[in-house]
Amino acid sequence: MIKHIAKSLAAALLATVSVPLAAQDVAVRAETLHTMEGPAISDGVVVIRDGKIVAVGPASSIAIPEGVEVLSAKVATPGLVDARTVVGLAGYLNQFDDQDQLDTGAPLQPQLRAIDGYNPDEELVGWLRSLGVTTIHTGHGPGTVVSGQTMVAKTFAKTADAAAIVPRAMIAANLGPDAMDSEKGPGTRPKQIALLRAALTAARAGQVPGEAQKRRARDEENDAGANKLDVQVWRDVLARRVPLMVTANRAQDIMSALRLKEEFNIDVVIDGGAESYRLLDQLREAGVTVLLHPTMARHYGDMENASFATAATLREAGIPFALQSGYEAYVPKTRVVLWEAGWAAANGLAPEAALASITIDAARAIGVDERLGSLNVGKDGDVALFDGDPLEYTSHVTGVIIDGRVASRAVR
């Protein structure tokens, strides 16, 4: 009995050792290959070496090296990109100890980092991975005026640091009912904007040239740690080193975000955007990107005027957007962008545009399109394999490759 326990403990210890996930030399051959760099290729091949794509094109012109594992599929696409989620911070158990996507201790907490709460072993991360999602833009969700920072992560890694490809992607701000609390925080929309304006104004006032700036910097060395962190984050927003992502669904809240952008000359990304179809001219003029709510999100509260056709409307208007899985208060705590894109395609969005909204357009929306979102030489070796049209409900994901590693062989 003691010997059996000792063996079990030894096995458990070995399982916790951090073993690097090595890239493989692997190739994919698909009857239809969507590269998102042009028209789909019939009988297409992708060759991946050391985690990067080294060749892509028709099978007739691409030589697959000997000894390389070849995965076959009816259809292959770039790895799917979820443009906005809280997965990895929010866990599937929906219990206190696996819900790190929101801290309600204060209305403004821009210093909270997603990477400090991200769990790469969370079951929801693995679930999304098995459904073709290779990259997620995840972090703090709605609930306070500024809930924290977001990160861009791969869904196949041993640690949060290894998963992160952009450790700080955006600062998550929220307008409307999700950020109202009459006891602990602002109870009205004007107070929400006033808090954001005050933080940005204070940070801007600190940008004094010359000796005054040096004196102020010395003074800040003695400030409380959280205060100093807050100020630095806001200065980075003002310097346009990091965008302010504003969750806003009602037209009035979207307009408040656009006014803030103009007043402080900062980069703003609209998250949610349920009523964005009402503000096409304003959004186009402001040059903002919309991380559009899940197509099948429930139409109630500040999303009561949402439309299944908003993705198609934004596309037709030339407003850059990407689809997201969003954030859910109930289990299983997440949606799946593949299914949201399929529903958007059923409601007026052209199929190729729907696929783009969860691949290249999503990668562009979160600033990683140089590495991700399409199948091209030099890009990361992220591929999703299917047994049919990815946007059809009856099709299945049959394999997933991330950074040249076969991350899933399950049929989902």
How does pLDDT run across 172-211, given as a tens digit for each residue? 999 999 898 756 679 999 999 999 999 999 999 975 444 4
How does pLDDT run across 51-75, given as a tens digit for each residue? 999 999 999 999 999 999 999 999 9
Helix, strand and coil percent figures for the chain, each rounded to 5: 35, 25, 45
DSSP string, 20-62: ------EEEEEEEE--SSSSPEEEEEEEEETTEEEEEEETTT-
Residue found under tokens 């997201």: 324
pLDDT exceeds cutoff 90 at 214: no
Compute the Cα dihedral for 349, 352, 355, 359 and give only its sign.
negative
Share of the chain above pLDDT 90, in %: 85
Nearest-angstrom CA–CA distance, 114 and 101: 8
The answer to which of 1-15, 135-149, 295-309 has the lowest mean pLDDT is 1-15
Q: What is the pLDDT of residue 228?
A: 81
Nearest-angstrom CA–CA distance, 85 and 297: 13
How does pLDDT run across 377-396, given as a tens digit for each residue? 999 999 999 999 999 999 99
Which pair of structure tokens corresponds to residue 28?
């994919």
How does pLDDT run across 121-164, given as a tens digit for each residue? 999 999 999 999 999 999 999 999 999 999 999 999 999 999 99
pLDDT exceeds cutoff 80 at 308: yes
Question: Does residue 344 contact residue 311 with C-beta atoms inside 8 Å?
Answer: yes
Q: What is the pLDDT of residue 329?
A: 84
Nearest-angstrom CA–CA distance, 277 and 284: 11
pLDDT averaged over every residue in the chain: 91
Residue found under tokens 């399982």: 15
φ, ψ of residue 247 to 5 degrees: the values are -75, 115
Helix (H, G, I), strand (E, B) or coil at 211: helix
pLDDT exceeds cutoff 80 at 1: no
Domain range summary for the chain, segments of one domain joined by +: 21-79+373-412, 80-372
Task: Output the pTM of the full model.
Answer: 0.91
- Max intra-chain CA distance, the chain: 73
Q: What is the pLDDT of residue 226?
A: 53
Residue found under tokens 């030589």: 63
For domain 80-372, give its CATH number from 3.40.50.720, 2.60.260.20, 3.20.20.140, 3.40.309.10: 3.20.20.140
How does pLDDT run across 231-240, given as a tens digit for each residue? 999 999 999 9
CB 17: neighbour CB atoms within 10 A?
7
290: enclosing H helix or E strand = strand 289-292
φ, ψ of residue 264 to 5 degrees: the values are -110, 0
Q: Domain 21-79+373-412: give its CATH superfamily.
A: Urease, subunit C, domain 1 (2.30.40.10)
pLDDT exceeds cutoff 80 at 6: no
Q: What is the pLDDT of residue 184?
A: 67
The stretches of 121-267 forming alpha helices (DSSP H) are: 123-130, 160-163, 189-205, 210-220, 225-238, 251-264
Nearest-angstrom CA–CA distance, 320 and 290: 6
Closest CA to 80 of 288, 322, 311, 297: 322
What average pLDDT does range 1-18 have in this prediction?
Answer: 38
What average pLDDT does range 326-355 have in this prediction?
Answer: 95
Q: What is the pLDDT of residue 348?
A: 98
Q: What is the pLDDT of residue 7?
A: 41
The two domains 21-79+373-412 and 80-372 share their CATH topology (first three levels equal): no
Q: What is the pLDDT of residue 400?
A: 98
pLDDT exceeds cutoff 70 at 404: yes
Nearest-angstrom CA–CA distance, 140 and 149: 6
φ, ψ of residue 358 to 5 degrees: the values are -120, 15
